[in-house]
Structures are given as C-alpha cells and as structure tokens.
C-alpha cells in the first residue's frame, strides 16, 4: 500500500493525464476554396494543435459536430477570404468553439489566434509588410515548453506524501485498540512521547523513501527538470512528513476503529490536498475566503517548495516563509498527536 | 408467489434504508459530501484566469505606456499588484510566485508608437502552472492585439480578423462545466461506498449467513442490497441538480427526463461495482481501501478534470470501459448543449452495456462468495 499507491499515482499522472492540448478536433466550412484558405488549413494542421476532422458543406452542419462533441472548433472561411487578403483588406474569419469546457476552449482560441496571425503575416501581399503596430514578445520561464507534466509531477510528490502519511499513520494506533494490544502498550514503562515518536519514525523512513523514488522517477522517466538543491528538498520533506504524520496519529488516537480513522483521515486530507493546495488549481485565482482557507492546508506550502526546487531552482532565501510554516506545522502535529494520545490513556 | 417476492424485497429495501440512514456517519456522507463537493467545485476549482497578479516595469513612463497598462487591467483578466523601475525585480517576483506575469514596456515605447515603427512590449510568464500560463498568455496577447487595432494609428489595414464565438458557454465559465460534473462523481462515490460497506458489514457481523438461510432468493438479496443505495444516490442527484440550477445558475438546456433516465444504468453500474468490491473484501476497512483505489483512477480517467482527448491512445481506450466517462458526457451535453437522445444514444448504450456486464460479473462472484 505504501508503495503501490505512489506508483499508481505517478503512472496515471505522468502518462495518462495532461492539460496540454494537441490534435484539437476541428471542422472547416470553406466557402472560399482558394489556395489561401487551403494554406490556412495547412498552417493549422502543421501546428500539431489542430486536426481537421471534416470539411463541411454548410453552416448548418456545424451544430451536430459540436453538439456530439466530435469537434471542438469550427472554422468558417467566408467566400471573399483570399480576395480580401490579397487586396490588403482585413479578412474576416469566424471561429466557433465548443465553450462547455471553458479551459480547453480558451486555450484552443489562443492557439488559433496565434496561428492565424502568423499566417496573415506570411501571406501579406507583395509590397506590403504586415508589421503589426504593436509587437508583443512573450517568454515563459521555469517551464519553457509549458508542459503540464512539469507542473504536476513535483506537486504530486507533495500530494502522495500527504495522503500516504495521513492514511498510514491514522491506522497505527487504532490498530492497537482493535487488536487489544493497547493495554499492553499502556502497561509498559514507555512514555507517551516515546510511543508517538516510536510510531512515527518508521513512517518517516517510508515517506522519505517515497519522496526519493517519486523524485527520481520524475527526473529520469518523466524528464522533469530538477534545478534546486537536494538537501533542501530533503530537510523540508522531513518537516512536512512529521507534520502530516502527526495529524494522522492524532486522528488515529482519537478513533477506536481503523475504519473510522481511515474515513476521517481521508476526509481531512484527500480532497483538500488535491483541490485546495494549488496542485491543480491555482490558489491565487480562488475567492478571498477560500484563499484564506488554503493557508490552513500544509500541502499548499509544500507544493510551493517542490515546484520551487524542481522548476525554479530557488534556495532557502526564497522558501524561508514556506519552511517556517512547515516547521510550525510539524511542531503542531507532534504536540497534537501526543496530547490526543494522552487523553486516551487517562 | 410474485406478491410474496415483492413483499420480501420491499422489506429488505426498507431495512437497508433504515440501517443506512440511522448511521450518523453515513447520513453525514449522504447529505454533507455533495454539498461540500459542490462548494469546492463551484467556488474553489476554477481554471478561469481572472484578476491574475501582474508586475509592471514601465521604463517609458509616458501617457502612451499608461494607456497600454490600462488596457490590460481594464480587461478584468489582470490586475497590477506591483510596479517597479528595474527589470531585476521581475526575477524576484516570479521566483517567489508573487506575480504570474511581468510586463516590461521599454523606454522609447511612446516614440516608436507615434512613428508607427513597431513598438515592442515584453511579457514574461511564470510557467510552473502550465495551464494558467497558457491561458494568461492567450488573454494578454489578444488584449494587446485588440488595443493595437483600436487605439494605435495603424498604417496597416490587412491581416485576418478572427472573430471568435463560444457556443454553449459564452462567458467561458469553468463553473458551468465543473458543477454538473459533481453530479456524476458524487453519486458514483456514494453508490460505491454504501453498497460495498452494507454487504461487508453484514459479513463482519455474521448476519449474512442469517440472510442466506432466510427464504430470500439470491437475486432478491442482490436487489435488496443495491436498490436502496440507488434510491439514496438518486436523492443526491436531485439535490445536486437543484442546487446547480438555483444556487450556481448553471443552465439546464436539455431534458431533465433524459438526465434522470440515463442515470439509471449509470447508478446500476456504480452499485454493481460496489457489490463487486464487497466480494473481494473481508472487512469494512478493506472495502474502504479498495473503493479508494478504484475511485481514484476512475475519476482521473473520466474527463472530469482532464480532457479525455488529450490522453494517449492506450488510456483513451481504457476510458471507454469507464461508466463515469460516458455519464459525464451525457450530463454536460444535457446541461450545456441541450442535447437529446438522438445525440447521446451511444453513451446511453455504453452505460447499459457496462452496467449489465458489471452486474452479471458481480452477481456471479457474489453467489460464489456467499456459498
């Protein structure tokens, strides 16, 4: 379980899942049927972002294609397209996008716009240079090719640890209750602190191995760049692990059955770690109230750390705030675990 | 005879409903989980770039450069949170993740603009969140392109004027796409958890043997262990639909009848999967773990958050066996596109096939494990 789950998650997230759009299915209604309109279609196809799945005979045919989801973009090229373009007039061109998936639609339109603009510049009539009055030069840092895998894999390192730590740890004390060995444990002269620390250490080791394996796989198999410092990642992972394990142990100490412990830990870690940590959805874009809530989720800080170290190659000076938050979280985790445990003894 | 069978079944369903609804934790899950997920997906999970933080480095500091900055903020997609004179500040701001985009307007921008000799603006993006950076770049480039056409004295008239229209979701709100999706995930989860727990609980308590020796036939037992949870999930379905319409104002353009009709084979496949889980788990804890391990890939490979069309061919084939994928397509098409049965019959057929297959498999295994 401790190794199966990370493997499945890495495989799925690394191979199967991506936000990068390729081969957006596109239909064209070409009323012009000129060399220019064909050239535009070729430019779309050559970009790799669009696949032309059909050429339609009329506007009425567009709706069924979009409605059944067999095409995401429809391009309508008016009859005077080549004429306008060659005469140096603005040539209108209509793009209809299936907006139901807002994200895909926005990205598809942005790609289409970029391709159309560059095609227009290339096919300007002789003697007229189509230098735009305002040139915009965009550069991307840290993830130059905008590959979603580079964003997901470092985040996944954090999410895996959060879930594993909370789930494994939540089972360990309730298992003693269920197995009836808790009384024995209480009768021994070890102190609560020693029990909690002793319960925690093996999982810290497992967790660190998970981090190392996941990071190594990310760099070697998935070719995610690693630009920062390994020791820094190690130290901050340790703080994060201790905090998450503490949370898990606290839940465990409070629940008499493993089932209940598991349900609780799943509820408190799984969904928040996925959705409110910035793993997939940027916390900056959330409404203010929710943005405040995300500050309570430790994975949020750790994801900034892993992305910062993997992609940005930043050091302790930049990550000190996150580091402090995670150390505080670790201290809190241990204290809460010890306190919760003591109640049960008394 | 049929009357007796019907009566036995209704007693069993009744008993199962009481058992489930009396359990405070399960009650909590049935009512709170959908609300919680709706809130998350309605408010938190958004891929819409609005008010993205921007750092502006304006070397020009003229009226022209200020106009340009206003065009950016006026769009509502960006807000300028920091200003600076030094380009090096951009590095620090991007490193620390304080801003998503840096805009650098070079000295001499106003002069170049007045001459019409290609004034240049530099944009710098934090690509760590690839999705957000792609969307933001698209917006920024289009805002400047439009600004150039509208406000600049342009000697150039040619080019292609791409007129965009988004059907079904004209404002391109990701909420309209995600909230109906909750309908699919939450009912799936509830069916899975409740069904598998119900059977395994009886096994743990040893009451499954009692049911075996009762005059119940195996088919009736299976029906009695699945129908109540389909009913509960159906209740959640209605709850989520109503909230989506009333609270989140997601348009429902198609027929509610089709939506609920298609839910029957979908829920059937979900409870059948739950039954299947119960046949491989000895304890409630095991069944919970199996549910979790099954639910995660099902959700990831469904198109709920990541488009199926972007997956590699191999995984795309796998998704064909995923009931969640087909149901999501139905739900979204009915809500946003107003699609009818003539458009959606392939998905409905797939659901019926999957539901029957899984139920048959689960029933066979169930017979074996109880014997």
Q: How many CA atoms lie within 13 A of B146 on its CB side?
A: 14
The answer for B 105-124 residues in CB contact with A (under 8 A) is 113, 116, 118-124
* Cβ–Cβ gap A141/B25 under 8 Å: no
Render pLDDT for A143-172 as a digit per residue (tens, 0 to 9): 888 888 888 888 888 888 887 777 777 777
Tell me how far apart the alpha carbons of residues B72 and B69 are, in angstroms, rounded to a whole number.
Answer: 5
- What sections of chain A are H helices per DSSP? 4-11, 35-46, 62-67, 81-86, 102-122, 148-179, 182-187, 192-220, 230-254, 258-275, 288-294, 298-307, 316-345
For B304, the closest chain A residue by CA position comes to A101
SS3 content of chain B, % helix, strand, coil (to 5): 70, 10, 20
Per-residue pLDDT of chain B (371 residues; tens, 9 = 90+): 467 778 888 888 888 888 888 888 788 888 888 888 888 888 877 777 888 889 999 998 999 889 889 989 988 889 999 998 888 888 888 888 888 899 999 888 888 877 766 788 889 888 888 888 888 888 888 888 878 777 765 555 556 777 778 888 888 888 888 889 888 988 998 899 889 888 888 888 888 777 777 777 778 888 888 899 999 999 999 999 999 999 999 999 899 999 999 999 999 999 999 999 988 888 888 888 888 888 888 988 888 888 887 788 888 899 999 999 999 999 999 998 888 888 889 999 999 999 999 999 998 888 776 65
**B308 to chain A, closest Cα gap in Å:** 8
In angstroms, the Cα distances linking B297 to A12, A111, A286, B322, B324 are: 7, 30, 26, 10, 11
Least CA distance to A71: which residue of chain B? B309
What's residue B235's pLDDT?
Answer: 92
- Residues A116, B162: C-beta atoms closer than 8 Å: yes
Q: Which domains does chain A have, with CATH numbers?
A: 4-12+147-345 (no CATH), 21-122 (3.40.1710.10)
Interface touch B339/A67, C-beta < 8 Å:
yes
Q: What's the mean per-residue pLDDT of chain B? A: 85
* Contact between residue A41 and residue A24 where contact means Cβ atoms under 8 Å apart: no
DSSP, collapsed to helix, strand or coil, labels residue A52 as strand
- Write out the two tokens for A271: 């969904």
Q: For residue B261, give Cα distances in angstroms to A117, A150, B57, B274, B341.
A: 46, 41, 57, 21, 10
Q: How far apart are CA A163 and CA A266, in angstroms?
A: 8
Helix (H, G, I), strand (E, B) or coil at A134: strand
Are the Cβ atoms of A97 and B130 closer than 8 angstroms? no
Report the distance separating Cα B179 and Cα B354, nearest Å.
25
User: Which residues, 6+ apart, have CB-to-CB distance to B170 below 8 Å?
Assistant: A99
Residue B296 touches partner A, C-beta closer than 8 Å = yes
The encoded tokens of residue A320 equal: 């000190």
pLDDT tens digits along B99-147: 889 999 988 888 887 776 678 888 988 888 888 888 888 888 888 887 8
Q: Tell which residue, A152, A142, A311, A146, has the closest CA to residue A233.
A: A311
Q: Which of B276, B321, B284, B326 is nearest to B304 (CA)?
A: B326
Beta-carbon count within 10 A of B186 CB: 24
**Which 3 state secondary structure label does DSSP give B128?**
coil
Q: What is the dihedral of CA B287, B365, B235, B202, to 10 degrees?
A: -60
Whether the model pTM is above 0.80? yes
| Residue listed under structure tokens 């017979």 | B367
- HSE on the CB side for B198, CA within 13 Å? 33
- Among B139, B158, B172, B335, pick the best mutation site for testing chain A contact (most A Cβ within 10 A): B158
Domains of chain B, earliest start first: 2-45+173-370 (no CATH), 52-151 (3.40.1710.10)
Q: If we measure between CA atoms, which residue out of A281, A56, A189, A217 comes closest to residue B42?
A: A281
Q: Answer whether A287 sits within 8 Å of B43, measured CB to CB.
A: yes
Asked whether the beta carbons of B190 and B233 are under 8 A apart, the reply is yes
């Amino acid at each position: 379980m401790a190794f199966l789950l990370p493997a499945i998650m890495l495989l799925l997230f690394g191979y199967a899942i991506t936000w990068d759009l390729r081969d957006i299915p596109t239909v064209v209604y070409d009323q012009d049927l000129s060399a220019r309109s064909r050239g535009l279609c070729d430019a779309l196809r050559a970009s790799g972002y669009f696949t032309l799945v059909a050429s339609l005979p009329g506007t009425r045919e567009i709706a069924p294609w979009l409605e059944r989801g067999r095409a995401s973009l429809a391009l309508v090229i008016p009859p005077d397209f080549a004429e306008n373009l060659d005469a140096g007039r603005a040539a209108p061109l209509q793009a209809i996008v299936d907006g139901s998936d807002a994200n895909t639609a926005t990205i598809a339109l942005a790609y289409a716009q970029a391709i159309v603009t560059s095609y227009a510049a290339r096919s300007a009539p002789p003697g007229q240079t189509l230098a735009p009055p305002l040139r915009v030069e965009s550069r991307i840092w840290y993830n130059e090719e905008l590959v979603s895998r580079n964003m997901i894999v470092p985040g996944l390192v954090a999410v895996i640890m959060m879930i594993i730590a909370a789930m494994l740890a939540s089972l360990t004390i309730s298992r003693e209750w269920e197995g009836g060995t808790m009384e024995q444990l209480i009768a021994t002269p070890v102190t609560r602190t020693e029990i909690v620390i002793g319960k925690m250490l093996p999982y810290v080791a497992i967790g660190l191995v998970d981090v190392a394996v996941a990071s190594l796989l990310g760099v070697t198999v998935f070719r995610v760049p690693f630009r920062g410092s390994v020791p820094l990642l190690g130290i901050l992972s340790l703080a994060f692990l201790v905090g998450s394990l503490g949370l898990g142990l606290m839940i465990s100490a409070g629940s008499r059955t493993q089932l209940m412990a598991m349900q609780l830990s799943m509820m408190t870690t799984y969904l928040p770690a996925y959705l409110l940590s910035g793993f997939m959805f940027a916390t900056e874009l959330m409404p203010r109230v929710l943005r405040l809530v995300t500050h309570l989720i430790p994975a949020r800080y750790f994801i900034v750390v892993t992305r910062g170290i993997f992609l940005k190659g930043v050091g302790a000076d930049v990550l000190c705030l996150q580091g402090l938050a995670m150390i505080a979280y670790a201290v809190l985790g241990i204290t809460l675990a010890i306190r919760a445990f003591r109640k049960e003894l008394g | 005879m049929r009357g007796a069978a019907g009566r036995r079944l209704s007693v069993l369903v009744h008993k199962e409903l009481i058992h489930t609804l009396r359990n405070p934790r399960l009650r909590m899950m049935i009512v709170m989980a959908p609300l919680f997920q709706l809130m998350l997906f309605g408010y938190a999970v958004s891929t819409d770039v609005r008010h993205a933080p921007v750092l502006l480095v304006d070397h020009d500091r003229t009226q022209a450069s200020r106009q340009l900055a206003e065009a950016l903020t006026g769009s509502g997609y960006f807000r300028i949170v920091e200003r600076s004179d030094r380009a090096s500040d951009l590095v620090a701001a991007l490193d620390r993740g304080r801003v998503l985009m840096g805009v650098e307007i070079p000295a001499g921008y106003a002069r170049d603009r007045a001459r019409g000799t290609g004034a240049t603006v530099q944009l710098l993006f934090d690509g760590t969140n690839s999705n957000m950076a792609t969307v933001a770049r698209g917006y920024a480039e289009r805002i400047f392109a439009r600004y150039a056409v509208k406000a600049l004295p342009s000697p150039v008239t040619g080019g292609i004027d791409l007129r965009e229209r988004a059907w079904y979701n004209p404002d391109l709100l990701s909420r309209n796409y995600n909230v109906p999706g909750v309908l699919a995930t939450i009912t799936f989860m509830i069916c899975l958890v409740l069904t598998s727990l119900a059977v395994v609980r009886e096994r743990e308590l040893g009451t499954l043997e009692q049911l075996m020796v009762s005059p119940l036939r195996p088919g009736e037992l299976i029906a009695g262990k699945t129908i109540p949870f389909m009913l509960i999930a159906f209740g959640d379905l209605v709850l989520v639909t109503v909230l989506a319409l009333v609270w989140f104002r997601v348009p429902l353009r198609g027929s509610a009848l089709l939506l609920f009709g298609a839910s029957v084979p979908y829920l059937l496949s979900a409870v059948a999967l739950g039954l299947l889980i119960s046949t491989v788990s000895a304890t409630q804890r095991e069944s919970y773990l199996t549910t979790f391990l099954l639910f995660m890939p099902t959700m990831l490979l469904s198109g709920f958050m990541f488009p199926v069309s972007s997956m590699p061919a191999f995984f795309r084939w796998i998704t064909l066996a995923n009931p969640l994928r087909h149901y999501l397509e139905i739900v979204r098409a009915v809500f946003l596109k107003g699609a009818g049965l003539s458009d959606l019959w392939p998905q409905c057929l797939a659901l019926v096939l999957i539901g029957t297959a899984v139920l048959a498999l689960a029933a066979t295994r169930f017979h074996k494990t109880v014997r």
